[in-house]
Amino acid sequence: MDSGTFAELGLFAKHRCTRLGMDKKELPADGVITGYGEVDGRTLFLYSQDFTVMGGSVGPVHQKKMAETAAQALVARAPLIGLYDSAGARLQEGSENITFARLFRQNVICSGVVPQIAAIMGPTAGGSVYSPALMDFIIMVKKTSFMFITGPATIKAVTQADTNNEDLGGSSVHCRKSGVADLEAENDEDCIVKIKKLLSYLPSNCFENPPRVVPQDDPARLCPTLEERVPADRKKVYDVRLVIHEIVDGDSFLEIKPDFAQNLVIGFARMDGRVVGIIANQPRVLGGTIDINASDKGARFIRILDAFNIPIVTLMDTPAFLPGIHQEHGGIIRHGAKMLYAYSDATVPMVTIILRKAYGGGWSAMGPKELGIDLVFAWPTAECASMGPEGAADVIWAKEIRNAPDPEAARKKFVKEYDRDFSTPYLAAALRVIDDIIYPEETRQKIIQALGMLEKKERTRSPPPLAAP
């Protein structure tokens, strides 16, 4: 908190348990510090579990304090920060601990109304993990934090598998494998820095716009290096983060979940001082295809951006959803639909840039005009088609290729023909599937101009219910 601004509430809270020697235990503030204060001059509410008080264990009073803090944040329309460091439920208080659910419900009520950030700064086990999971962002600290529902001892007893806290639920696991966490901090101090930086991109509540800063970067700046960063050859890879850094205000990009589902890049940035959310395919990983994890990652982020009035900028370069038995059996249809739903339901300003590939189902999932995107631009080298020219030629001219004297030469001919006649962005522009074809160097200018035009955009989320006959 800013110096001198923190006001503690619930300091004199006491547990009510008298069993198992608890009547003789004095637990200051019942093991959790709660209150409000300011960060960079903005009011926010906070609860912080105190591991020095009976391991930060959670009893009814402890959790009631946390739930009440969340409720107060909702009333005050201010962000909620939770610092988690707890051994879990206080077993001595028995069935009263079902009040765990009180906090879960309050997290849900706050969801999409005020930003909620969870920092895992120690152990978080059992039912305690669900409160952070219901919040908007989770930050974990390397080496000292872990999250899991059942611990190593229970897993050993039930499955005979040997593991430990770090391998089961450390920051590396949740930032890279499970996708539960959004950011990884080097230590507690770095964790606090990341909380403050994340807050700087978020409004205090869903009724406000995110804070705008005085731009330090020319909104009319051209980006001449973009043509070199993105090879026209569809078979060559590149790092889309270089494109992002080039078009946003200098050093403003904050990547979210950078080590999870790396075939999709998401994060916050500023353009002409405005906060924007970036969604971009990453050709360096899985060719920029969209898989189950990328779908979940992108859809959740879009929903958060829409909740907090943050415009969405999409950079598209994808050949399709990732094919494979594992993906199909894992429910890629179910997960992929989340992307379509999130874009379709969003009401904030949305601008899509087609950098290179826009094929089939991948095109549909990455912010096409038909999902309600306000403006869609394409570079001259973009390829907009139902599928890649190689696959399309094999389907359309299968008989001709098979019966040709030189099948391989015939295939190359038909691939080139499809590429020339059906993949061109000019055909897509003629059909009004895209709004304009722009030079790569104009990308930053066009996005900023579009966001300025859309600044007062209003769109109702759904039609009112029909009147009864």
pLDDT tens figures, 181-211 = 999 999 999 999 999 999 999 999 999 999 9
Domain final position from 199, 217, 242 = 199
d(CA 190, CA 211): 22
pLDDT at position 416 is 80
Whether residues 170 and 259 fall in one domain: no
For residue 160, being part of any structural domain is answered with yes
State the total domains in the chain: 2
Cα–Cα–Cα angle for 352, 365, 433, rounded to 5 degrees: 50
Domain final position from 182, 199, 216 = 199
pLDDT at position 232 is 85
Whether residues 132 and 243 fall in one domain: no
pLDDT at position 31 is 84
Cα–Cα–Cα angle for 24, 26, 29, rounded to 5 degrees: 150
For residue 417, being part of any structural domain is answered with no
Among 284, 307, 304, 287, CA closest to 296: 304
Whether residues 51 and 142 fall in one domain: yes
Among 216, 218, 148, CA closest to 180: 148
For residue 75, being part of any structural domain is answered with yes
For residue 52, pLDDT over 60 is answered with: yes
| Residue-wise DSSP of 207-255 | TSPPPP----S-TT---TTHHHHS-SSTT----HHHHHHHHSSTT--EE
Q: Identify the band that residue 437 occupies on the pLDDT scale cut at 50, 70 and 90.
A: very high
Of 23 and 445, the one with more pLDDT: 445
Give the β-pairing of 375-378 and 436-437.
parallel
d(CA 62, CA 74): 19
Whether residues 165 and 234 fall in one domain: no
For residue 405, being part of any structural domain is answered with no
pLDDT at position 469 is 57
Whether residues 189 and 44 fall in one domain: yes
For residue 99, pLDDT over 60 is answered with: no
Of 231 and 23, the one with more pLDDT: 231
pLDDT at position 278 is 98
For residue 17, pLDDT over 80 is answered with: no
For residue 81, pLDDT over 90 is answered with: yes
E strands present in 65-189 = 80-84, 116-120, 123-125, 137-141, 146-148, 183-185
Q: Identify the band that residue 19 occupies on the pLDDT scale cut at 50, 70 and 90.
A: low
For residue 63, being part of any structural domain is answered with yes
Of 419 and 321, the one with more pLDDT: 321
Whether residues 277 and 191 fall in one domain: no
Mean pLDDT of 407-421: 78
Mean pLDDT of 20-25: 65
Q: With pLDDT > 90 as the criterion, what percentage of the chain qualifies? A: 69
Give residue 192's domain range.
7-199
For residue 390, pLDDT over 80 is answered with: no
Measuring CA to CA, how many Å separate 458 from each of 274, 305, 374, 453? 18, 16, 12, 12
Domain final position from 199, 214, 244 = 199
pLDDT at position 401 is 81
Whether residues 292 and 428 fall in one domain: yes
Whether residues 276 and 378 fall in one domain: yes
For residue 69, being part of any structural domain is answered with yes
Among 336, 193, 178, CA closest to 257: 178
Whether residues 272 and 145 fall in one domain: no
pLDDT at position 455 is 93
* Secondary structure tally for the chain: helices H, strands E: 18, 17
pLDDT at position 403 is 82
Whether residues 86 and 50 fall in one domain: yes
For residue 252, being part of any structural domain is answered with yes
pLDDT at position 404 is 83
For residue 250, being part of any structural domain is answered with yes
Whether residues 186 and 236 fall in one domain: no
Give the tens place of pLDDT for each residue, 289-315. 999 999 999 999 999 999 999 999 999
* Displacement of CA 37 from its chain's centroid (Å): 27
Three-state DSSP at 273 gives coil
Place of tokens 């430990």: 164
Per the structure block, which two tokens stand in for 212?
A: 């705008």
d(CA 202, CA 209): 8
For residue 98, pLDDT over 60 is answered with: no
Burial label, 61 (beta-carbon count in 10 A; 0-12, 13-18, 19+): buried
DSSP-based helix, strand, coil % in the chain, nearest 5:
40, 20, 40
Place of tokens 């610092």: 83
pLDDT at position 217 is 94
Give the tens place of pLDDT for each residue, 119-177. 999 998 877 889 999 999 999 999 999 999 888 888 889 999 999 999 999 999 999 99
The domain that holds 295 is classified in CATH as 3.90.226.10
Whether residues 181 and 46 fall in one domain: yes
